Amino acid sequence: MIPTAVVTVADGDIIREYVRSSQFPTAKIEFKGTVIGTSPSAPRVAAFSSRGPNYLTPEILKPDVIAPGVNILAAWIDTKGPSQTSTDYRRTEFNIMSGTSMACPHVSGLVAMIQKLYPLWDPGAIKSALMTTAVTVDNSGRSLIDLSTGQTSVPYYHGSGHVDSTKAADPGLVYDTGISDYVDFLCTIGYDSQKIALFLRDGPPVNCSNRNLGNPGSLNIPSFSVVFNNNLRTVKYKRMVKNVGSIKNPVYNVAVTIPSNVLVTVSPTSLVFSETNNILSYEVTFTSVTPIDSVFGSLVWSDGTHAVRSPIAVIWQGVTLQSEI
C-alpha cells in the first residue's frame, strides 16, 4: 500500500551514508528473478527473531531452533487484504508473510513427517531429533549470520540451529523427555501440587518433596545452559539418551568445543549401546575458569555416521567480569 523498500539496518546505514555524502544520490531497483548462490548466504537469523537468554529460567536455553520465517509465500484468507489494513480492499488467495506464523508451520510439518516415520515416538523425542540435527552453518559453509548485528549468530539467537528436514529423519540418538521429566522440572522451579494440577488433570496429586532435580538445567533436554555466580563455580548436569538408529550396538564418542573460560568434562566419554541396553546416561561438569560475560560452545556425540549435537551457553551472573583477550 505504501511504495517503500525494506532493507536491513546494516544496509540502511550504508544507504544513509551514501545519501549524505553524495550531492546527487540516485537509486534503482533491479528485478533479477530467482537468484541461486551463496551471496548473500542463507539461512540467516532475522533481525526480528525471538532472542534469549531465558530470563525466567536461565538454566534452560531458548530458543530451541529456528526455521524459515522471512518472506514466505503461503495461503491467505479472503476476509482481509494482503496488507491487513481496513482500507485495503484487495483480495488474494496467497500472500507473502514473515514471522513466527510462518516458521511454526515449517516446524509443524517436520513434526508430522517424523511422527509418520516413527509413530511410537513421544513429543520429546521428536523435539530432540529436530534440535540435535539442526545446522549452525549457512550454504557458504560459514557460521550463521545474525541480521540484527551483521555478526556471527550465537545460541541465544538461533538455539540449536536451523532445522534440517533430512537429518531430522535419522538423528541417531534422542533425549526422550517425558511428562515425568517436566513434572520434576516444575517442582524444581517452585511449582506446588496445586499449580502442577493445572497441567496434569488426571491422576493423583504430585508430591514435590522427592521430585527435585537440584538444578532446573538438569531437565533431560538436548541443550545446556549454565549459570555461574559468586557462590556457584561448578555445575553438573546429567543427561540420558536413547539409541534410535538402525544399528543396535553403536559406540558414540564425545567431543566438546568451548572457549578456555570454561572447563568441561564428560563422564563417560564413550557410550556403548547394545540390543538389550539402548538407553544410557552421562554427566557433564562445567567449571568456571575465567569469568567474562558469556561464552558458547557445543557437545557432540558421534558414531561416525551421526553427529548428535547439543549447544552450550554459559553466563556469569553477579560476578566481576574480565575482558576476554
For residues 111 and 256, state if they share a domain: yes
**Dihedral of the CA atoms 178, 210, 200, 189 (nearest 10)?**
-80
State pLDDT tens for residues 128-178.
Answer: 999 999 999 999 999 999 998 889 999 999 999 999 999 999 999 999 999
Is 241's pLDDT higher than 70?
Answer: yes
Residue 325 pLDDT level (bands cut at 50, 70, 90): very low
CATH number at residue 257: 2.60.40.2310
Query: Taking all residues of the chain, what is their mean pLDDT, rounded to a whole number?
Result: 92
State pLDDT tens for residues 71-126.
Answer: 999 999 989 898 888 888 899 999 999 999 999 999 999 999 999 999 999 999 99
Residue 323 pLDDT level (bands cut at 50, 70, 90): very low
Contact of 243 with 173, CB cutoff 8 Å: yes
For residues 289 and 151, state if they share a domain: yes
Any domain includes 200: yes
For residues 200 and 281, state if they share a domain: no
Any domain includes 187: yes
Which residue reads 575458569 in cell numbers? Answer: 289
Any domain includes 225: yes
Comparing C-alpha atoms, which of 221, 273, 284, 285 is closest to residue 242?
A: 273
Q: What is the mean pLDDT of residues 299-317?
A: 97
In whole angstroms, what is the distance from residue 322 CA to residue 279 CA?
41
For residues 138 and 173, state if they share a domain: yes
Any domain includes 290: yes
Any domain includes 84: yes
Domain total for the chain?
2
Is 26's pLDDT higher than 50?
Answer: yes
For residues 123 and 230, state if they share a domain: yes
Any domain includes 322: no
Contact of 255 with 302, CB cutoff 8 Å: yes
- Percent of the chain's residues with pLDDT above 70: 98
For residues 127 and 271, state if they share a domain: yes
State pLDDT tens for residues 131-141.
Answer: 999 999 999 99
Of 35-39, 191-195, 271-275, least confident by mean pLDDT is 35-39
For residues 206 and 172, state if they share a domain: no
Any domain includes 188: yes
For residues 89 and 21, state if they share a domain: yes
Any domain includes 168: yes
State pLDDT tens for residues 28-82.
Answer: 888 888 888 888 889 999 999 999 999 999 999 999 999 999 999 999 998 989 8
For residues 168 and 203, state if they share a domain: no
In whole angstroms, what is the distance from residue 53 CA to residue 62 CA?
6
* Angle of helix 100-117 versus helix 123-132 axis, rounded to 10: 110
For residues 81 and 163, state if they share a domain: yes
Query: Residue 321 has what pLDDT?
Result: 55
For residues 190 and 229, state if they share a domain: no
Query: Residue 167 has what pLDDT?
Result: 96
**Structural domain boundaries enclosing 182:** 178-219
For residues 95 and 162, state if they share a domain: yes
> What are residue 257's phi and psi, to 5 degrees?
-125, 120
In whole angstroms, what is the distance from residue 88 CA to residue 79 CA?
11
Q: What is the mean pLDDT of residues 246-269?
A: 96
